Chain A
Amino acid sequence: MKKTINILIALIMAAGLVSCNNGGDQKSKKGGQGGLATNAAERVYVAPGEHDEFYGFMSGGFSGQLGVYGLPSGRLLKVLPVFSQNPENGWGYSEETKPMLNTSYGFVPWDDSHHPDISQTNGVLDGRWIFINGNNTPRIARIGLKSFKTEEIIEIPNSAGNHSSSFITENTEYVVAGTRFSVPVPQKDMSINEYKGNFKGALTFINVDQETGRMGIKFQLMMPGFNYDLSHPGRDKSHGWFFFTTYNTEEAHSLLEVNASQNDKDFIAAVNWKVIEEYVNNGGGTKVPANYAHNILDEHTHTATSTMLKEVLTVNPMDVPGAVYFLPTPKSPHGCDVDPTGEYIIGNGKLSADLTVHSFTKMLDAIENKKFDGEAYGIPILNFEDILAGVVKQPGLGPLHTEFDGNGNAYTTFFISSEVVKWKVGTWEVLDRQPVFYSVGHGMIPGGNSRKPFGKYFVALNKITKDRYLPTGPELTQSAQLFDITGDKMELLLDFPTIGEPHYAAAIPAELVAPNSTKIFKLAENKHKYAVLQDSDVRVERDGKDVHIYMNMIRSHFNPDNIEGVKVGDKVYFHITNHEQDFDVPHGFAVIGANNAELLIMPGATETLLWEPKQVGVWPFYCTDFCSALHQEMQGYIRVSPADSNIELSWSLGED
């Protein structure tokens, strides 16, 4: 009886939450937010055998990877290895993929991946590639959305904390990589006390080959030593400009939580990249020595190469008048977001009570009339009032980032007050607010970063989950929350856990990607140096202490499956080619005592695992991917003899 009453009370409370949701009650912490009273479950339900409407790509944050989710179901479809080694398929462990993680610091097998962005044509998502930044060891990766593989990684020199990236211009002309930490350029041994005026913040513009997607650093803009937090390209009318938020314009170097929060206003740096591009194309800029890796995975050799580049073109903003301006913006702004029309530039001052919106038209006007309010390091500062389009008054606490639905509404995430606030672009009035659970970072609307958002859903990317899921010890998963934004009020439909830290995300209608997805690699097009395309080419060769095993695999055997003549102290390279030409039939390869990983080899591909036998014996290897009815039989032996043995190399399959 008591229980029934409790349930009744809970239901009444839940109903109260649902019915008076339009403000002020975001502090209520528990209970069936939305969902219960609605048909939310139905709206996120994707029946068995049916597909989600969107691909959602959520950064793995400290996992260094990129998670692929279906929306609206929130199902995890795949984890794409990007900056971190992935033993489950050998990414960063196999001989072919190790070069992908090469940097000027040597092999860096992890990173902190933050902001994915999908390629665009005419400001509309085109589904060709997705880019993501490695924050720690500054890198930008390009993932092909046919193969869903990381195809290229370029390191960013003169940069540290590659945070205001990887945002792209509306024809994918450039991917930017702005540094969060300013550093001495070139790096040198100097006193940290001398930070002010001596450190530089590099904003790197990487051009993208429209055919191949290949990246190359076009120029680095060497800005004053502020912290460059986030960025956003201009759209439509503001195409040709790029906007970067800054904090620590104080140029403090210690106890930044206090010392970098003193200025009432920091800046949004407005960069006219077209002007700089022209300057560079006409021979402008200074080539300086640098050392950075450019890693490319070739789709035909299935092999990555890492090239160290030795030079980069830098541009001093002082040398290109008219290229860079500072827009004063309160106060330590995080997100820097441009609405789909390109007119409004929203500065999310995370310590400010208000949201500041700049007008692009007014900005151009102020520039034309030279209405400056001083300068910083020679860069003109515009007058705050001259460029102000409007202010969203007291929308919440700790605004981080704003996305747009394409219907004239903006959605801003508030970290401190843990909520999403919907407001009207142009009137600056708050239309709706919804609590999130808890402490949201970025938000995401499919295509919300383009001229044409697909404004159906809003995804909140949350940092803390506390009581949202079953506890799993002190470390809980982070999470995403899906809102329906088609009505006047946002409606919470679904919570789902994510890998690592879902820092930012990008989503695209599935129909723009799925039909192009690669099903197999054609064996006939396999140009791998060690590929074994025919059974007659199977062999084992010794080159000093290196033993190369040229092997192939098909359901349900390895060829060869018995190998002898290997010795303790050898370096054994298993070069294995998967002869399947059938969608979704990879085979695995694992050998006992491997100190690196297993392999997961896709149909038609070749991969190489290095194995260094340390003990005499007869050691098994086997397929780790349940591939067929005879998967268990997919196995073989390799005999390891003492180092001084004179047993000849031999190999066989199907002989008694």
Chain B
Amino acid sequence: MKKAGIIMIIGSLLLLGLFKFPLWNIMLGAPQYPDPLGMDIYIEGIQGVEEFDIQNIDGLNHYIGMKTIPKVEDMWEFSVFPKVIGAMVALGVLIGILGFLGKVSYKWFLGWFVLMSVLGILGMYDFNLWLIDYGTDLDPKAIMKLENLDGTPMTYKPPLLGYQKMLNFDVDSWPGTGAYMIFVGMILTVVAFFVGKKEYKKSKA
């Protein structure tokens, strides 16, 4: 299971990209913002794509009563997520090494993948909850209170994934480099599972 172990190790290590690259990116463009405002969402906090984007997004959002974009200390996620990712990397590498040495079964690789998938889904769910809260829990003293055609108050939840027109803004929400790295990393752990399975069968035969 040498090859499978190495693939498992590489796959888990790819998650480290999250400490350097954004997980998600939301861009807000409008006629008067020919260079769109944008935020990069990292597991350790949110940053503007350009230096003052966050301040400017907050400035715009205050018209409709949205909360300011959370600082690191405002959300538990930003302290927990790095720990979870760190632990998953360590666990993945450990399983990989043990697999390489033949101490654990290839099934552990899949186990890691399933655990990571569950955590990932929980993460996305949490992210979506935050977006909902951010886009709907508006200041009752908001300067502009807009209604939908059916008379319900307008909300401003950015899309979890994809494009949406929100008032005068074109909002794009797409995975960032970090997300693609997890994606590739997780695929590699599945590959490790199958390679490990093959290697195991070969050794049996």
Q: Which residues of A contact B79 (CB under 8 A)?
A: none
Q: Tell whether, in the assembled complex, residue B143 and residue A581 are in contact, meaning their CB atoms are under 8 Å apart.
A: no
Cα–Cα distance between A582 and B58 once the two chains are bound (Å): 12
Q: Tell whether, in the assembled complex, residue A630 and residue B52 are in contact, meaning their CB atoms are under 8 Å apart.
A: no
A555 beta carbon closer than 8 Å to chain B: yes
Q: Which residues of B contact A582 (CB under 8 A)?
A: 52, 55-56, 59
B63 beta carbon closer than 8 Å to chain A: yes
A554 beta carbon closer than 8 Å to chain B: yes
Q: Tell whether, in the assembled complex, residue B63 and residue A630 are in contact, meaning their CB atoms are under 8 Å apart.
A: yes
Q: Which of A573-610 contact B (CB under 8 A)?
A: 580-582
What's the minimum C-beta distance from B183 to chain A, rounded to whole angstroms?
34
What's the minimum C-beta distance from B35 to chain A, rounded to whole angstroms?
8
Q: Which residues of chain A have a CB within 8 Å of any CB of chain B?
A: 520, 554-555, 580-582, 629-630
Sample of 16 A–B contacts (CB below 8 Å)? A520-B52, A554-B59, A555-B59, A580-B59, A581-B51, A581-B52, A581-B55, A581-B56, A582-B52, A582-B55, A582-B56, A582-B59, A629-B63, A629-B144, A630-B63, A630-B143
Q: Which residues of A contact B51 (CB under 8 A)?
A: 581
Interface size class of B (residues with CB under 8 A): under 10
Cα–Cα distance between A555 and B52 once the two chains are bound (Å): 15
Determine the main DSSP class of A at the interface with B. loop
Cα–Cα distance between A629 and B62 once the two chains are bound (Å): 12
What's the minimum C-beta distance from A577 to chain B, rounded to whole angstroms?
14
The 3 closest A-B pairs by CB, nearest first: A581-B52, A582-B56, A581-B55
Cα–Cα distance between A589 and B143 once the two chains are bound (Å): 23
Residue with the greatest number of chain B CB neighbours at <10 A, chosen from A520, A554, A582: A582
Cα–Cα distance between A582 and B144 once the two chains are bound (Å): 22
Q: Which of B41-74 contact A (CB under 8 A)?
A: 51-52, 55-56, 59, 63
Q: Which residues of A contact B56 (CB under 8 A)?
A: 581-582
Cα–Cα distance between A465 and B63 once the two chains are bound (Å): 50
Q: Which residues of A contact B144 (CB under 8 A)?
A: 629
Q: Which residues of A contact B143 (CB under 8 A)?
A: 630
Q: Which residues of A contact B55 (CB under 8 A)?
A: 581-582
What's the minimum C-beta distance from A557 to chain B, rounded to whole angstroms?
10
Q: Which residues of A contact B52 (CB under 8 A)?
A: 520, 581-582
Q: Which of B21-53 contact A (CB under 8 A)?
A: 51-52
Could you give, for residues 123-146 of chain B, a 1 whenever the CB lies within 8 Å of some chain A CB and a 0 otherwise?
000000000000000000001100
Q: Which residues of B contact A554 (CB under 8 A)?
A: 59
Cα–Cα distance between A224 and B144 once the two chains are bound (Å): 73
Q: Which residues of A contact B59 (CB under 8 A)?
A: 554-555, 580, 582
Cα–Cα distance between A630 and B59 once the two chains are bound (Å): 12
Cα–Cα distance between A555 and B55 once the two chains are bound (Å): 12
Q: Which residues of B contact A555 (CB under 8 A)?
A: 59
With both beta carbons as reference points, the residue of chain A lying nearest to B63 in the complex is identified as: A629
Q: Which residues of B contact A520 (CB under 8 A)?
A: 52
With both beta carbons as reference points, the residue of chain B lying nearest to A584 in the complex is identified as: B32
Cα–Cα distance between A409 and B55 once the two chains are bound (Å): 54
What's the minimum C-beta distance from B156 to chain A, rounded to whole angstroms?
16
Q: Which residues of A contact B63 (CB under 8 A)?
A: 629-630
